Chains A and B, each alone.
Chain A
Amino acid sequence: MIRRFFGRRDEVLFRSATGVFALLVIAGVIAIGVALYRESMLSIREFGFQFWQTDVWDPVAGEFGAKPFIWGTLYSSILALLISTPIALGIAVYVSELCPPALRRTLVFLTELLAAIPSIVYGLWGIFVLVPFVRQIEVATPEWMKVIPLFSGPPLGVGMLSAALILAIMVIPFSSAVAREVLRSVPQAQREGAYALGATRWEAIRMALFYARTGIVGAVMLGFGRALGETMAVTMVIGNNPQVTWSLYAPQYTMAAVLANEFAEASGDLYLHALVEIGLVLFILTLIVNVISRMFIWSMAAQRPRVFRRSALKAAA
């Protein structure tokens, strides 16, 4: 009787001791939302939704309009996805369907390395190697192309094009890792069926891609989430000029970049709260994108065996 009591108590103790830490993690996530909201109240009250519709950002004059930042963040991330998605899918198809097994591990390692290089190193490389290269391309733009708004503006090097390129490079390993796992989960019978009907290799792969479409959308969304929040590399190459324009050559600004550049020096409560509000919206934006992408990957994984579920989710993490 006594022993049983102590046994129970031990179990309760173990469960609550580990459970407290689990609760702590959950409380931490909620605390992020609450703290960001509380510290941005001044700005939310003062400007309301107008904050995201005006494009004058002049802290000295007390004018805060965040439209250029959300524009820059969305524009650069979408451009990066347009560049990176075909490449990431190509890599996923090559690694999971085409490449010899001996090469596979090396390729996986190399793409993982691409993901492991710190953002600041990408930025450094961006400033001194990518930006001069992009400037040369911009200088070489023929006159008739400059009429198109997309290619207008002086050839500075720093700007939207450089940011999109560096983001694309950084996003590729994330999307391709998930897409690779998703493709591996497509039953072999799908491909064999296609071959039996006389399909070429590409047609069989296209069947597999179609079968895996939800997971692939999830993989792309996951890359989108990464691109939205990427800070250092973008800050260093985008030119940091708040303006709303379609031009790829124009220096622009992103939400993460304005936080990185101005937060430490923000003087005055309203200025600080305006910056925290940008952080809050970035938090909500990435949260939504990540939850949607996980739902896609999960719904794909739910139909599949456990082994896949684990590896796909690991790749997603």
Chain B
Amino acid sequence: MNRNRWRRALSGTILVLCGASVVVALVPLAFILFYVVSQGIASLNVAFFTQLPKPVGEPGGGMANAILGSLVVTGLAAVLAIPIGIMSGIYAAEYTGTRLASSVRFAADTLNGVPSIVIGVFVYTIAVLPLGRFSALAGGIALGIMMIPLIMRTTEELLRLVPSTLREGALALGATRGRAVFTVVVPAALPGILTGILLALARIAGETAPLLFTALNNRFWSTDITQPISTLTVQVFTYATGPYAEWHQQAWAGALVLVTLVLICSLLARIATARMERLQRGS
């Protein structure tokens, strides 16, 4: 009898601990969001989005050039990664059993696990050393490499979800394989693929490590992709580790912008997936 009571008590205790661990993990999340919002709001104003950084000691100024720079670098990454990711994803989904397909899947998983800082070192050796200088292009390549596995895996997953009857219908009407894929299968999966791209963009827009010694930084406006460029994340890093209180405030504002971006993208993706699930169930 006593033993059973002990067992029940143990069971109860451990179940409570499981619930507690959820709370333990959510407390930091709440704290992070609270600080980013409360500190960030205080210094987020129109100037933040429209002005260049002010010299040290002068109050005010903003991160307009860094926001533009982040857009440029992320855009370059997208231009590089979207075609490669989608095409290799199509290959992996269409020729599932082949050796090349499983190799590319393995390569993508490997790439996904490579630390972002190592990608930065790699891009430094292939894009910064030969050119002899840091550039927005190098930053874009680094982020693009990180984006490829994300896009490839989503594309593959979603193409596989498209009912095979659609593809077979197209083939029965005499379409070649390429035609069937590009005009029937890919369009059917397109909303999902776009969601995946959106999520990948949100993730790499928050990356700092691969940009530190590829895109470097720049105090001024720049859209020249062969020159160093400022990005939001690197700017937040510089300001956060600097000694001035105004810098710290600017860093919090930058963090708020980043977190808002991530939050909006995950919510959009969630809504889109929920809708797709409903559609699939409905049809």
Contact = CB atoms under 8 A, between A and B. Distances in A.
Contacts of A32: 114, 118-119, 122
B29 A113 contact: yes
Given A21-B87, A26-B103, A276 B110 contact: no
Given A26-B107, A124-B240, A14 B29 contact: no
A290 interface: yes
Nearest to B126: A35
Contacts of A290: 109-110, 113
Interface in A178-220: 200-203, 205
A112 B269 CA distance: 12
A7 B35 contact: no
B54 interface: no
Interface string A1-28: 0000001001101110111111111101
Contact of B248 (A90, A128, A230): A128
A129 interface: yes
B176 interface: yes
A15 B108 CA distance: 19
Interface stretch (B20-28, B44-52, B187-195): B20-28
Interface string B253-266: 00100110011001
Contacts of B233: 118, 120
A67 interface: no
Q: Which of A23, A95, A203, A317 has the most CB of B within 10 A?
A: A317
Contacts of A125: 31-32, 35-36, 255
Given A114-B25, A121-B258, A125-B35, A22 B18 contact: no
B10 interface: yes
Nearest to B10: A202
B197 interface: no
* Majority SS at the chain A contact face: helix
B237 A25 contact: no
Given A22-B88, A32-B118, A259-B121, A264 B216 contact: yes
A115 B34 CA distance: 17
Contact of B7 (A128, A203, A231, A259): A203
Nearest to A35: B125
B197 to A, nearest CB: 15
B10 A200 contact: yes
Given A18-B88, A256-B209, A120 B258 contact: yes
Contact of B14 (A124, A173, A202, A310): A202
Given A28-B145, A231-B116, A263-B212, A19 B126 contact: no
B13 to A, nearest CB: 8
B88 A122 contact: no
Contact of A36 (B8, B19, B35, B121): B121
B267 to A, nearest CB: 9
Interface stretch (B57-65, B92-100, B219-227): B92-100
Contact of A11 (B87, B177, B202, B203): B177
B101 interface: yes
A26, A232, A260, most chain B CB atoms within 10 A: A232
B84 interface: yes
Given A229-B117, A287-B110, A109 B14 contact: no
B115 A256 contact: yes
Interface in A262-315: 263-264, 275-276, 279, 282-283, 286-287, 290-291, 294, 310, 314
B280 interface: no
Q: In this complex, which of A94, A121, A125, A310 has the most chain B Cβ atoms within 10 angstroms of its Cβ?
A: A121
Contact of A119 (B12, B107, B208, B252): B208
A11 B178 contact: yes
Given A129-B35, A260-B212, A287 B113 contact: yes
A87 interface: yes
B176 A282 contact: no
Contacts of A98: 15, 18-19
Interface string B64-106: 0000000000000000000110011011101100001101100
B262 to A, nearest CB: 5
Contact of B208 (A20, A118, A310): A118
A147 interface: no
Contacts of B87: 17-18, 20-22
A88 B22 CA distance: 8
A274 B113 CA distance: 23
23 contacts: A14-B181, A21-B87, A22-B87, A23-B100, A91-B18, A91-B22, A94-B22, A98-B18, A98-B19, A109-B266, A113-B29, A116-B202, A118-B233, A124-B252, A129-B31, A203-B7, A232-B208, A236-B241, A275-B121, A286-B114, A314-B157, A317-B109, A317-B149
